[in-house]
Amino acid sequence: MRYEITGDTLPVVICYLDSGEQVITERGSMSWMSPNMKMETSSNGGIGKAFGRMFSGESFFQNIYTASGGEGMIAFASSFPGQIVPYEIGPGRELVVQKSGFLASETGVNLSVFFQKKFGSGLFGGEGFIMQKLSGSGMAFLEFDGHIVEYDLNKGEQLIVDTGYLAAIESSCSVDIQSVPGLKNKVFGGEGLFNTVVTGPGHVWLQTMPAAQVAGVISRFLPPKTS
Rounded-to-integer distance, Cα 213 and Cα 171, Å: 26
Q: Report the pLDDT value the prediction gives residue 75, as an integer from 0 to 100.
A: 98
Judge whether 208 and 146 are in contact, CB under 8 Å: yes
Sheet architecture: strand order including 158-161: 158-161, 194-199, 174-179
User: What pLDDT score was predicted for residue 28?
Assistant: 74
pLDDT digits (tens, 9 = 90+) for 34-77: 999 999 998 655 444 544 444 444 555 789 999 999 999 999 99
Q: In this predicted structure, what is the pLDDT of residue 60?
A: 56
pLDDT at 124: 46
Q: Which CATH architecture has domain 2-219?
A: 4-Layer Sandwich (3.60)
- Report residues of the chain scoring pLDDT below 50: 46-48, 50-57, 119-128, 183-190
| Residue-level pLDDT at 53 | 44
The number of beta carbons lying within 10 Å of the beta carbon of residue 32 is 12
Say how far apart CA 56 and CA 61 lie, in whole Å: 13
Domain map (residue ranges) of the chain: 2-219
- DSSP calls for 107-149: TTEEEEEEE-S-HHHHTTSGGGSEEEEEEESEEEEEEEES-EE
**Residues 121, 187: contact at Cβ < 8 Å?**
no
> How far apart are alpha carbons 196 and 193 in whole angstroms?
11
pLDDT, tens only, 85-99: 999 999 999 999 998
Please say whether the beta carbons of 51 and 7 come within 8 A: no
